[in-house]
Amino acid sequence: MSGSDAAPDARVARVVVGVSGSPGSRTALRRAVAEAHHRQAELWAVLAWQSPGGELHARRASAAPLADGDWENLARTTLVTTIREVLPDGPGVPLHAVLTRGTPGRALAETADREDDLLVVGAGHRGHLHRALHPSVSRYCLAHACCPVLAVPPSPLEADLAAAHRRNVWRLRLDTRHFTKEATPPDA
């Protein structure tokens, strides 16, 4: 008998989560950590990146402002920074940070390629224009993944933040004249 009693094909359970740095992906990452703890599974944080304009544009462009290596480094920095900010004390489970080139939905579905995986994605509120211009990663994963997919709704604070941002976009410039007036000393 060998030194290991485990079956040779025994695999560790995995929770795969899409990480982009967005508020929705941060919420999904927190939920994925909880699921990994509950399932005693490894956490696979995946960030998929592409050159701006897509792969076809990158091949055609003769002189891109940033080389592919620069875009990859930016993606790596985003992945590491997001993990560190969301999980400052670490996840408490084995973590694999995966950087892959390609579309996010496809990269996530291909990474979570086992029936016993759990794929966690953020499912944000999207307007009609955004939906028309940018395909939904969560919809792609729901349609193409071979494992269960957990679509995590956005944090309620995300809607409040977006509303505050919309209000502030239309506000006039801040009048700073009252900040520059010299303070008068109190009467003694």
Q: What is the pLDDT of residues 129-183, one digit of tens each?
A: 555 555 688 888 888 899 999 999 887 777 777 777 777 766 655 556 655 555 5
Number of compact structural domains in the chain: 1
DSSP three-state, residue 173 = coil
Looking at the chain, the whole-number percentage of residues with pLDDT higher than 70 is: 67
Per the domain annotation, does 1 fall within a domain? Answer: no
Per the domain annotation, does 85 fall within a domain? Answer: yes
Per the domain annotation, does 82 fall within a domain? Answer: yes
pLDDT value at position 70?
85
Q: Let me know: does 130 contact 162? Beta carbons within 8 Å.
A: no
Range of the domain at 75: 14-57+66-157
pLDDT value at position 3?
45
Q: Report the CATH number that the domain containing residue 25 is assigned in CATH.
A: 3.40.50.620
Q: Which residues contact 95 (CB under 8 A, 6 or more apart)?
A: 42, 43, 44, 45, 83
Per the domain annotation, does 7 fall within a domain? Answer: no
Residue 31 pLDDT grade (very low, low, confident, very high; cuts 50, 70, 90): very high
Per the domain annotation, does 33 fall within a domain? Answer: yes
Per the domain annotation, does 6 fall within a domain? Answer: no
Per the domain annotation, does 4 fall within a domain? Answer: no
- The backbone torsions φ and ψ at residue 142, rounded to the nearest 5 degrees and listed phi first, read -60, -35
Per the domain annotation, does 84 fall within a domain? Answer: yes
| Size of the chain, expressed as the number of residues it contains | 188
